[in-house]
Amino acid sequence: MEKLQVQNNFLPWWRWRRQNRIWASVFLLLFLVLEFRFDIIERGVGMYLVWQNDGRQKVGRSWAAEQQQLLAGTNLEKFAREMRDRDRELNNLHTFPELVQLTARRDQLVVPPEVFSRVYNSLPSFLGSLIVSPDSLLFYRANGILENIVFNQSDAGLQVILLDQRNRILRNRHLTSTQMDMLLNHGMRVNLDVSTDERFSPERIFSLARFQELLDRLGFVRKNDFLHALPAMVEYAGPAMKVAVSDRIDEGLVQVAVAVDNLEAYVYFIPEDWINDLILVLDEEDFIPDEDEIFL
């Protein structure tokens, strides 16, 4: 009886130890799960090491994850900054030379229709046709099928690709060096002596007064076409000004130089049919330089 009493006294102690082992196992398992999920020990050791040495290199699984998050945030910030810079550059594009300069820095430039239209409208219609005809551009925009315009820079010139929403090619145009020269130099002031340049024969070099007389012989519409197409002739008008018409025809355009002095001139490219209208009103004596032109 006494032995049975001893066993009964021992049984609760044994059960208590077994329960403690179970709870200890549960807590240990829970701790392992939490450690695997949250890297408690690693974070604690890491925080201690950082507290002891701010310059200590971060290592471990949690540090690698933090580094990846930091790198992703940095890349996202870099991408956002590049997009802001791109939008700012595109918003500042207004002329074709500016577009070509930006393309040269990147080798390839993609612009939306709104930016392309702004640059396109900065060109006279007869020059813009070298890229795409006004009718075609109007059709693409009116039907909402023009999505992007791609410019590819190369040594041979400039490639212009018009794409729709599915990146299908609407128009693929390669601008030659001659066409690029027209688009970039139209309306520019350059070093040019029209009296010695082989592109301008003496009988096609006129004083401003004489050239104005020729314009007066044209119809009202064509005369205004010339005045609008040659703004330097009006802005810098003076007795010493000369207007030279080239003998050459490229891409249906003729170069006209408005010389403000003997060394510089504004160059323009005028449709061939305009020049033909001008030639039709010339008299035989118009090909003989007058005293003023000889003096010039």
In single-letter form, the type of residue at position 238 comes to G
Confidence of residue 236 (pLDDT cuts 50, 70, 90): very high
Count Cβ atoms below 10 Å from residue 265 Cβ, excluding itself: 26
pLDDT recorded at residue 296: 46
Confidence of residue 295 (pLDDT cuts 50, 70, 90): very low
List pLDDT tens digits, range 160-189: 999 999 999 999 999 998 999 999 999 999
pLDDT recorded at residue 60: 57
In this prediction, residues 39-59 reach a mean pLDDT of 59
pLDDT at 119 over 90: yes
pLDDT recorded at residue 294: 44
pLDDT recorded at residue 289: 56
How far is it, in rounded angstroms, from Cα 79 to Cα 73? Answer: 10
Tally helices (H) and strands (E) across the chain. 13, 9
- Quote the percentage of the chain above a pLDDT of 90: 53
What's the Cα-to-Cα distance from 289 to each of 12, 94, 207, 241, rounded to whole Å? 132, 41, 9, 15
In this structure, the chain runs to a length of 296
Question: For 118-140, what is the HEC assignment?
Answer: HHHHCCCHHHHCCCCCHHHHHHH
pLDDT at 14 over 50: yes
Confidence of residue 2 (pLDDT cuts 50, 70, 90): very low
**Any idea which of 55-59, 113-117, 162-166 has the lowest mean pLDDT?**
55-59
pLDDT recorded at residue 260: 92
pLDDT recorded at residue 222: 94
pLDDT at 259 over 80: yes
CA 163 to chain centre: 15
Please enumerate in sequence order all residues whose Cβ is within 8 A of that of 198, keeping only pairs 6 or more positions apart, or say none: none
pLDDT at 40 over 90: no
pLDDT averaged over every residue in the chain: 81
Sheet holding 264-271, edge to edge: 188-191, 264-271, 253-259, 242-245, 205-207
pLDDT recorded at residue 293: 46
Most confident of 24-28, 30-34, 37-41, 240-244: 240-244
pTM of the model as a whole? 0.67
In this prediction, residues 236-251 reach a mean pLDDT of 92
pLDDT at 115 over 50: yes
Q: Which of residues 33 and 177 earns the better pLDDT score?
A: 177
